[in-house]
C-alpha cells in the first residue's frame, strides 16, 4: 500500500489581510488617539486657564521683562510711561479685573503702530501707537483692549494651545512635516482668535463707557489705520487674526447709537503730547 502526501495549497502561508492595510489602520488609530488626547488637553487649558495664578505667568516672562526694563529711556518717556500706567490701572478697575491681576505698561520705540500683551500682565505699546491717537479716549480703547486679553487669560490660552498643536503635529508627522500641519492648524485657529479679539473689543468698550460715560473716540486708532491703508488690497477676512478694521469701526459706531455725544473728548495728558512725533 503506497502513501502520497496530499498536495498543499500555494496560498496556505499567505495572509488573507493586507499588511499595508493593517499598518494604515494602526497608524490612523494612533493618530486619532493623539488628536483626541491633545484636543482634550487643549480644551482643559482653555477652560482651566483662569485658575492658573498670575504669578505663574510672571515667572515665565520675568527674564524677558527684566531685559526690556533695562533699556535706557529719556526723561520725557519716563513721565509719559507713568501717565500710561495710571490710565491702565484706572481702566482695569472699570473693566472689573481681578484684584490680583498685574498691570505693567512698557513703552518702546518701533516703526509700526502696535500694542501687545505678554504673559504676566505686561502690555507693550509702541511710540507709533501714541502718534496715532488724538484723545485720551482713543488711547484708552487700545489699553482697555489689551487689559481684556489679560483678564480673559488669552495669552496663556493661545500660547498653551499652540504648544499642544505643535507637540501633536511632531508626534504624528515628525519635525519637518509637523511644521506644515502646525501651519494648517493655525489657520483653523484664526476664527477662535477673532472671537478673542471681538470679546476684548466689547469688554474694552464697556470699560470706556464706565469710565467716560460714552465710547466716542474709541475708533481713533482704527480710523487712522484704515485711512493709511485704504489704497491697498484688502485680504479676505479669514486671513486676519484680528477682526477686519471696518467691522471693528462698525461695532464701535453701533455702541454709540444710544449715547449722547460729548462736547469734547478727554485730551491726552501733556506728558504724552510732549513725546508725540510731529505730524506732517
One pLDDT digit (tens) per residue for the chain, 280 residues: 566 666 656 555 555 666 677 767 776 776 677 666 666 666 666 666 677 777 777 777 777 778 777 778 889 999 999 999 999 999 999 999 988 888 999 998 877 888 888 888 899 999 999 999 999 999 999 999 999 999 988 888 777 665 555 655 555 555 544 454 444 444 444 444 788 888 999 999 999 999 999 999 999 999 988 887 665 544 444 445 566 788 889 999 998 988 888 888 999 999 999 999 876 5
Locate 75 and state its grid cell: 526723561
CB 169: neighbour CB atoms within 10 A?
22
Neighbouring residues of 265: CB distance < 8 A, sequence distance ≥ 6: 134, 135, 136, 137, 138, 216, 217
Chain centroid, CA 173 distance in Å: 27
Please state the pTM of the whole predicted model: 0.74
Half-sphere exposure at residue 219, Cβ-oriented, CA atoms within 13 angstroms: 16
Q: Are 256 and 216 in contact (CB under 8 A)?
A: yes
How many angstroms separate the CA atoms of 17 and 14, rounded? 9
CB 158: neighbour CB atoms within 10 A?
19
How many angstroms separate the CA atoms of 129 and 114, rounded? 6
Rg over CA atoms, the chain: 27
CB burial string 88-116: b at 16+ within 10 A, e below: bebbbebbebeeeeebbbbbeeeeebebe
How many angstroms separate the CA atoms of 277 and 280, rounded? 9
Q: Are 208 and 218 in contact (CB under 8 A)?
A: yes
**What letter would DSSP give residue 229?**
T
How many angstroms separate the CA atoms of 86 and 24, rounded? 60
Locate 101 and state its grid cell: 491681576
Amino acid at each position: 500500500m503506497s502513501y502520497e502526501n496530499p498536495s498543499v495549497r500555494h496560498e496556505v502561508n499567505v495572509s488573507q489581510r493586507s499588511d499595508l492595510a493593517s499598518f494604515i489602520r494602526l497608524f490612523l488609530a494612533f493618530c486619532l488617539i493623539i488628536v483626541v488626547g491633545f484636543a482634550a488637553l487643549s480644551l482643559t487649558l482653555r477652560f482651566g486657564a483662569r485658575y492658573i495664578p498670575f504669578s505663574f505667568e510672571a515667572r515665565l516672562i520675568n527674564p524677558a521683562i527684566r531685559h526690556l526694563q533695562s533699556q535706557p529711556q529719556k526723561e520725557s518717556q519716563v513721565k509719559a510711561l507713568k501717565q500710561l500706567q495710571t490710565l491702565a490701572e484706572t481702566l482695569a478697575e472699570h473693566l472689573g479685573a481681578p484684584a490680583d491681576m498685574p498691570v505693567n505698561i512698557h513703552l518702546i520705540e518701533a516703526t509700526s503702530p502696535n500694542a501687545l500683551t505678554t504673559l504676566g500682565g505686561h502690555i507693550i505699546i509702541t511710540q507709533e501707537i501714541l502718534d496715532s491717537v488724538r484723545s485720551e479716549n482713543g488711547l484708552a480703547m487700545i489699553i482697555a483692549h489689551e487689559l481684556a486679553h489679560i483678564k480673559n487669560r488669552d495669552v496663556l490660552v493661545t500660547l498653551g494651545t499652540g504648544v499642544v498643536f505643535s507637540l501633536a503635529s511632531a508626534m504624528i508627522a515628525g519635525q519637518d512635516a509637523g511644521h506644515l500641519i502646525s501651519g494648517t492648524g493655525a489657520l483653523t485657529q484664526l476664527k477662535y482668535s477673532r472671537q478673542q479679539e471681538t470679546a476684548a473689543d466689547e469688554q474694552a468698550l464697556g470699560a470706556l463707557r464706565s469710565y467716560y460715560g460714552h465710547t466716542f473716540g474709541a475708533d481713533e486708532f482704527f480710523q487712522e489705520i484704515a485711512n493709511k491703508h485704504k489704497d491697498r488690497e484688502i485680504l479676505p477676512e479669514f486671513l486676519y487674526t484680528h477682526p477686519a478694521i471696518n467691522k471693528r469701526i462698525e461695532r464701535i459706531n453701533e455702541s454709540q447709537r444710544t449715547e449722547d455725544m460729548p462736547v469734547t473728548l478727554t485730551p491726552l495728558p501733556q506728558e504724552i503730547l510732549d513725546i508725540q512725533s510731529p505730524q506732517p
